[in-house]
């Protein structure tokens, strides 16, 4: 019996031996066909532009086209689930952001996929602060003046957001919580209709992305009071940070690349190297900064730590603000 077991083990090892170099060769020659980069939002938005900018810049380094596919819906969960269930061979990737990766677990009761266990973070692409703006219903010219208006209204002042649980909603909720203030939240289906009501004077203020509001800032339809990152933006150095008024405050929209769990390390390293090369391209840097995003050098482990930290902090904000989704 011992001899038979030894023979079987030896035969199994001999049968596997030819496969091991083939698997290693396949990883070493990756990619041999186009790579898909899925994202959870419709064409034309900030995430879409960043993904397509990155994809075009990574294509020469990879030697294959990086094809961007839009899979909007369910707060980003559809695209996340599609990548999590894909083969871990490097040919299906996800452009993840803070919503699906860190916030949704606190908003949705029945998540089919846990991004922390189903995906491999490869690297952070960019980090983008938001901007606090007011319309004609506010007399504030600075963030302290806006906070004073909110305090005087005693909870009866309102603010807009792109949707329940969106970056604009959470950033505003965090600002109010840290300032010890209350205001009435009015969600919309997107930043554009929300800003329309801010400009019309129906709503008091909004925290939103730069691309959605830069035209309104140029025409003086809204007044920018502060940015939500930990440093002033290079494009608008005269706009202070929220943290200059509320110490330690930070709320940004970030974007990173992830792969299905089990994707081999050599392939993940190849993807990260192509990302780093793309993000060092001056034209890519310019295009990202034009969108209000700052290119990042954060690698997979650092990106994973960011996701965990964001998940914990936003869970607290969601719970304290009583935020729910339809």
pLDDT tens-digit map of 307-318: 999 999 899 888
In the 8-state DSSP scheme, what is residue 241?
A: B
Least confident window among 19-28, 103-112, 184-193:
19-28
Burial of residue 262 (CB within 10 Å: 0-12, 13-18, 19+) is exposed
**What residues are paired with 299 via a beta bridge?**
123
Whole-number pLDDT of residue 27: 57
Contact 258, 96 (CB under 8 A): yes
Whole-number pLDDT of residue 326: 54
Whole-number pLDDT of residue 9: 42
Whole-number pLDDT of residue 1: 43
Instruction: Using the structure block, give the residue that is written with the tokens 């007044």.
Output: 223
282-290 vs 46-62: helix axis angle to the nearest 10?
170
Contact 298, 310 (CB under 8 A): no
Contact 135, 160 (CB under 8 A): no
Whole-number pLDDT of residue 14: 46
pLDDT digits (tens, 9 = 90+) for 93-139: 999 888 888 888 888 877 788 888 999 999 999 988 999 999 999 99
Least confident window among 67-71, 296-300, 319-323:
319-323
pLDDT above 70 covers a percentage of the chain that reads 90
Contact 67, 55 (CB under 8 A): yes
The overall pTM is greater than 0.75: yes
pLDDT digits (tens, 9 = 90+) for 136-150: 999 999 999 999 999
pLDDT digits (tens, 9 = 90+) for 221-268: 999 999 999 899 888 999 999 999 999 999 998 999 999 999 999 999
Where residue 18 falls among pLDDT bands split at 50, 70, 90?
A: low
CA-to-CA separations, 151 to 95, 148, 173, 179, 188, in angstroms, rounded: 39, 5, 14, 9, 24
Where residue 210 falls among pLDDT bands split at 50, 70, 90?
A: confident
**Higher pLDDT among residues 2 and 302, named by residue:** 302
pLDDT digits (tens, 9 = 90+) for 58-83: 999 999 999 999 888 777 788 899 99
Where residue 26 falls among pLDDT bands split at 50, 70, 90?
A: low
Where residue 28 falls among pLDDT bands split at 50, 70, 90?
A: low
**What residues are paired with 41 via a beta bridge?**
none
Res. 5: pLDDT tops 50 = no
Whole-number pLDDT of residue 274: 96
Least confident window among 6-10, 269-273, 279-283, 319-323:
6-10
Alpha carbon distance 140, 244 (integer Å): 16
**Higher pLDDT among residues 261 and 164, named by residue:** 261
- Angle at CA 17, nearest 5°, toward 13 and 22? 150
């Amino acid at each position: 019996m011992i001899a038979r077991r030894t023979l079987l083990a030896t035969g199994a090892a001999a049968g596997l031996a030819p496969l091991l170099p083939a698997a290693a060769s396949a990883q070493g020659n990756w990619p041999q066909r186009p790579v898909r980069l899925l994202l959870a939002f419709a064409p034309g938005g900030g995430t879409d532009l960043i993904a397509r900018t990155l994809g075009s810049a990574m294509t020469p380094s990879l030697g294959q086209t990086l094809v961007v596919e839009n899979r909007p819906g369910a707060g980003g969960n559809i695209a996340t689930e599609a990548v999590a269930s894909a083969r871990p061979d490097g040919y299906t990737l996800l452009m993840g952001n803070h919503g699906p990766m860190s916030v949704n677990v606190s908003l949705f009761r029945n998540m089919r996929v846990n991004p922390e266990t189903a995906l491999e973070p490869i690297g952070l692409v960019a980090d983008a602060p938001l901007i606090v703006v007011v319309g004609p219903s506010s007399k504030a010219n600075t963030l302290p003046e806006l906070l004073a208006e909110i305090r005087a209204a005693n909870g009866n002042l309102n603010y807009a957001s792109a949707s329940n649980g969106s970056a604009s909603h959470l950033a505003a909720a965090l600002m109010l919580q840290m300032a010890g203030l209350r205001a009435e939240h009015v969600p919309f289906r997107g930043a554009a209709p929300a800003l329309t009501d801010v400009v019309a004077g129906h709503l008091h203020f909004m925290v939103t992305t730069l691309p959605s509001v830069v035209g309104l800032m140029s025409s003086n339809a809204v007044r920018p009071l502060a940015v939500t990152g930990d440093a002033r933006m290079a494009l608008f150095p005269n706009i202070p940070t929220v943290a200059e008024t509320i110490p330690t405050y930070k709320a940004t929209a970030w974007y990173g690349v992830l792969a299905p769990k089990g994707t081999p390390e050599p392939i993940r390293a190849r993807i990260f190297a192509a990302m780093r090369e793309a993000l060092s391209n001056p034209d890519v840097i310019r295009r990202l900064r034009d969108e209000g995003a700052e290119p990042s050098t954060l690698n997979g482990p650092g990106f994973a730590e960011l996701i965990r930290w964001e998940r914990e902090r936003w869970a607290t904000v969601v719970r304290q603000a009583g935020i729910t989704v339809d």
